[in-house]
Structure 1
Amino acid sequence: MEPKKEATDVIDFYAEHKMLVWIAAISLSIAGCLLYYMTFGPHTVSGKGIGPGTLVRRFGIREWISHWLMLLGFLTLAATGFMQVVPGTALSHLGPFHGWLGFIFFLIALITLLGWVPDALFKRYDWPWLLKMGGYFSHDPKPLAAGRFNAGQKIYYWSILLVLIGLLVSAVVMEHGSHSLAGRKGLFWCVHGLLGCLATIMVIGHGFLSIFVNPDSARVLRDGRVSKAYTDKHHSLWKAP
């Protein structure tokens, strides 16, 4: 089957089964996370004795604030986007709110992500990390070389940036249907929905790894700090400020 035909089939299927796609994607993502946790459990390194002297700053104040804004913004966008695919609901009033919030969210995310470009560039030491899958399928105490962001976080960074750009482009086409792409407005509605679904899956995985698999990193949401034991284990080449 030709790639173009396969893409068309996927879009056609989504157009007819939006609700099913969203429920299946979210359910399978959560099920996969639960299966992993039951099999491998958490990768805790800090222990219980965490005090001021054992903490390092992972994110600056601006990064910490933007992280929270992106989290809250994404949850709202995902909820309002999902509600619009529920059949039999009259929620057209959510469209403008979803659109304006999405544009503001994109600006905040873009400013934040651009600030992380130097840390998101791949280095030679990232390849061993990828070959061993970051140690997520073992409990080897030996740290893998990684900078401020490890190879997995870098892949997530570039992937989410591309998805956000795709969401913005598809949203602009949807809003300006009077142009040459007017006849394909329905197509871009489906593309936008599929990208939103993909972004939701990615954020579920990111949140699961950050909160449950690496509970030491979850503390960063409190004040931008994590334990030094965590950075020594997972970001051994990064010099914390």
Structure 2
Amino acid sequence: MQEFRHAVVTGASGGIGEAFARELAARGCDLILVARGVDRLEALAEELQGRHGITADVLPADLGDPVQVEKVAARVTDAAGTLDLLVNSAGALGAIGPLFVQDAEAVRRNLALSTLPIVGLTQAALPGMIANGHGGVINVSSVMAFLPAPGGAVYSASKAFATSFSESVHGEVNWRGVHVTAVCPGSTGGTRLHRSAGHRESGRLGRLLDVGDVAREGLAAVTAGRPICVPGLDYRWRVAMSRLLPRGLVRARYYRRWGRRVPR
């Protein structure tokens, strides 16, 4: 079983990113924590260092800004000798509603946040991992990568990108001892995803997953070399049905459910 000793976690100030940071720290992994919220990052770093005796460095960055993505990528490159895990968890749900009524600049920013850091940071991390002959990259995606999402078209499409990207890059590097995994959870409790988008937690796909369970399943998947991880048996069933059923039936179900959604 592969053990991770030095990891970079983006989106670490809350939700799934924070859960990965907590789980890794409990396993003795030193961390570089990346997010916009400096105060939350510093408080988390202090807590994890005191509780687990690990080193946790704070790297404030807004990954919606390409310049700051480059700053974090440079830090990842500098850590190439020791870094053996990258967790890309930064992201936002964005506004819910038809694309034609959404703010164009907000759409571009959310799309950039959901895609460019995954590519840039993965590309920065891989050379060192390949040189060392081991390592892993976890890209936090969503079960929505497999489903149509009227009212959330950009979010769903960006998660499909993250999943396809992870699966493809895994095929390039797994034979070198490096694994890339897309973790695709459904509705997850303990996150600020919906609140950050300015609306309540509505329109859930199913039961709320425990955020810690998502992190543990993701770490088990990347350790085992699985390129796609869908936490929760019920969500795995939904994904399987979306692949087995005629696509027209899948579309019809989710069009009925979300197709007439309008902004509040």
| TM-score of the aligned structures, taking structure 1 as reference length | 0.27
Bigger strand share: 2
Bigger helix share: 1
Structure having greater relative contact order (Cα 8 Å, sep ≥ 6): 1
